[in-house]
Each structure stands twice: as C-alpha cells, then as structure tokens.
C-alpha cells in the first residue's frame, strides 16, 4: 500500500534525523535579508553545486540523510541551504517574504560567496525554485536539475490554497498528503494522514510559516516565453508515479534540448532517495562542467 510505504519511509528518515540531531554538522553560514536569516552549509571543493530542498523538509532530510550532499562533495563545492520558512532559517508569516524572495536568496548566497555561477539542483518546491532561478538568472547557472516536479507554468492546477488554509485552520497537511498519493493507489486513511502530519511537522516546522510559503509559491511559475528564452542546460528528474510530474511532454516539445529522466516506480516521497536520482544529477553536472 503506497501510503503505508510512505509512512515507513518517513519514519526511517525521522529516526535518522533524531540520531544526527545532536551530532556535529558542517559549519554554517548565514545570509540575512531584511531581518530574514537563511542558513546554509558548504562542503567539498571544486565547481559549486547549490542544493535546494522541498516544502516541509530541510537540507539535512532532503540531501544529507540520503547521502547526496556527501557524494557530490567528493568532487564539488556543495552549498546546501535551508529555504526561508524551513529548517534553521527564519520563518516569517508574511507570504510576501517567500515566492520570488526564495529565488533571489540563491543569487544572494552566490554573491556572498563570490561565486559567479553554479550548478543548481532542486527537488519538489526546490525544483520550482531552481527552474525560476534558471529563467531569472540564466547567466549564473551552469546547469539546472529540476527534481520531483515538472513544468510549473501559469494555470497549472495546484492545491496550494487548500494547503495554506488547512495549515492556518487546523495545522494540517492533509491536502498535501492526499495530493501526493500516486494515481491508482488507495488514498491514505485518517490515521495514516495524522501519522504523516505529525512526522512532517516534527521537523521544526511552523504551520503558519508553511502556509505563507504555500501562498507565495505561485510566484514560482515559469511562463512559456521565459521557458523558450532561457537556454540554460536543464533536466527534469521525476518518478513515474509522481503526481507532480506534469508538463514534461510540453517542455520537451518547446525545448528539445531539455533532458527528461523518468525513474521507474518512483513516487514523490522516495524518488530523491533512489540511486538513479543521484546518478542522473552527477552525469548531468559532469556533462556541463
């Protein structure tokens, strides 16, 4: 049952998170913009690679625990940030503090580190930030990997308003959890939803901040004109069972040079942990060094 498997995956992740919570982590640096602090870490040496995590999680859960940060740090300078509203970063409750501000944070961190360009890798919400960064700052991108999501263009159906309202009213992620259920799989029951909700909110999340993040996320859409104009090397890496993998055929038709990697059997909650995901990232970066 897909929902039970997701619960087990998250339980394992949280067990690891608890195990490492008290251990030393890579030295952090902080970007501060208008009172909002964005924490990030740096590991390794070489060409820079920026890792941008998804909604509700953080840089450790998304990249550290699956070993992605460590694997890339063998050959690259890996910059992994906690997006504002997540992890150790500030969690304002104003939607205006999110959206495009999260895109600009990537450029600000590169500026702070005096890095003119970087490879950028994002998953889920981080994938949306990556795509928007690529069209907003094309001269600063060596390559862009958009994971766990397809082409998020204006008019793409979303549950963002429902997610924000549920978080504000009931501190609930139910609309998000249900929307990520793969097609053809039974939806999670109330008990499973409650388990998942508790697990996800236990990652130091502030429900009101997450609601603001969700409301600001509409600013991350990429128009057809932006997509065509941007010639940055771009790949999408999505599981075949991921409901968010939309618009890939249209993206490929509009830009035949775009690479699309489909990971067989992967859903939204586990694709980034699969060896094929890391391999696709490493190969794409290597092709555009």
Q: How many helices (H) and strands (E) does the chain have?
A: 12, 8
Residue among 223, 274, 273 at smallest CA distance from 251: 223
Residue among 208, 197, 223 at smallest CA distance from 95: 208
- Does the pLDDT at position 2 exceed 80? no
Instruction: Answer whether residue 30 is part of any domain.
Output: no
Instruction: Answer whether residue 190 is part of any domain.
Output: yes
- Does the pLDDT at position 87 exceed 70? yes
**Residue 250 dihedral angles phi and psi, to the nearest 5°:** -65, -40
The answer to whether 61 and 273 are in contact (CB under 8 A) is no
Segment 90-148, tens digit of pLDDT: 999 999 999 999 999 999 999 999 999 999 999 999 999 999 999 999 999 999 999 99
Structure token digits, residue 31: 């970007």
Position 25 scores a pLDDT of: 57
Position 19 scores a pLDDT of: 42
Residue in the structure block whose two tokens are 């509203």: 85
The answer to whether 150 and 248 are in contact (CB under 8 A) is yes
- Does the pLDDT at position 3 exceed 90? no
Segment 23-81, tens digit of pLDDT: 445 678 999 999 999 999 999 999 999 999 999 999 999 999 999 999 999 999 999 99
CATH code, domain carrying 208: 3.40.50.1820
Domain extent at residue 118: 2-20+41-287
Angle at alpha carbon of residue 102, lines to 96 and 105, rounded to 5°? 120
Instruction: Answer whether residue 98 is part of any domain.
Output: yes
The answer to whether 208 and 23 are in contact (CB under 8 A) is no
Instruction: Answer whether residue 223 is part of any domain.
Output: yes
Residue among 32, 61, 63 at smallest CA distance from 49: 63
Instruction: Answer whether residue 71 is part of any domain.
Output: yes
The answer to whether 215 and 102 are in contact (CB under 8 A) is no
With cut-offs at 50, 70 and 90, classify the pLDDT of residue 187: confident
Instruction: Answer whether residue 27 is part of any domain.
Output: no
Cα separation of 86 and 121, whole Å?
A: 17
**Which of helix, strand or coil describes residue 94?**
coil
Structure token digits, residue 93: 């409750």
Instruction: Answer whether residue 194 is part of any domain.
Output: yes
Instruction: Answer whether residue 29 is part of any domain.
Output: no
Query: What's the chain's average pLDDT?
Result: 92
- Does the pLDDT at position 9 exceed 60? no
Cα separation of 60 and 75, whole Å?
A: 19
Cα separation of 258 and 201, whole Å?
A: 35
Segment 169-178, tens digit of pLDDT: 999 999 999 9
Domain count, the chain: 1
């Amino acid at each position: 049952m897909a929902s039970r498997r997701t619960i087990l995956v998250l339980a394992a992740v949280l067990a690891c998170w608890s195990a490492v919570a008290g251990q030393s982590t890579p030295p952090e640096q902080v970007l501060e913009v208008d009172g909002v602090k964005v924490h990030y870490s740096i590991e390794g040496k070489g060409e820079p690679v920026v890792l941008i995590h998804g909604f509700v999680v953080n840089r450790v859960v998304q990249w550290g625990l699956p070993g992605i940060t460590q694997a890339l740090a063998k050959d690259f300078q890996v910059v992994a940030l906690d997006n504002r509203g997540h992890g150790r970063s500030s969690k304002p409750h104003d939607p205006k503090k999110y959206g495009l501000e999260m895109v600009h944070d990537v450029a600000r961190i590169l500026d702070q580190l005096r890095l003119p360009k970087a490879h950028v890798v994002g998953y889920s919400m981080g994938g949306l930030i990556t795509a928007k960064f690529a069209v907003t700052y094309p001269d600063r991108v060596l390559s862009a990997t958009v994971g766990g999501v397809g082409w998020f263009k204006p008019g793409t159906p979303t549950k963002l308003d429902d997610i924000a309202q549920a978080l504000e009213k009931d501190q609930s992620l139910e609309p998000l959890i249900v929307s990520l259920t793969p097609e053809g799989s039974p939806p999670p029951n109330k008990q499973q939803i409650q388990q998942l909700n508790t697990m996800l909110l236990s990652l130091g999340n502030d429900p009101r901040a997450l609601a603001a993040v969700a409301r600001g996320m509409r600013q991350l859409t990429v128009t057809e004109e932006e997509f065509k104009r941007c010639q940055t090397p771009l790949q999408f890496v999505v599981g075949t069972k991921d409901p968010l993998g939309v618009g890939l055929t249209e993206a490929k038709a509009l830009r035949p040079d775009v690479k699309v990697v489909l990971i067989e059997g992967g859903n939204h909650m586990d694709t980034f942990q699969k060896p094929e995901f890391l391999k696709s990232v490493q190969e794409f970066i290597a092709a555009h060094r």
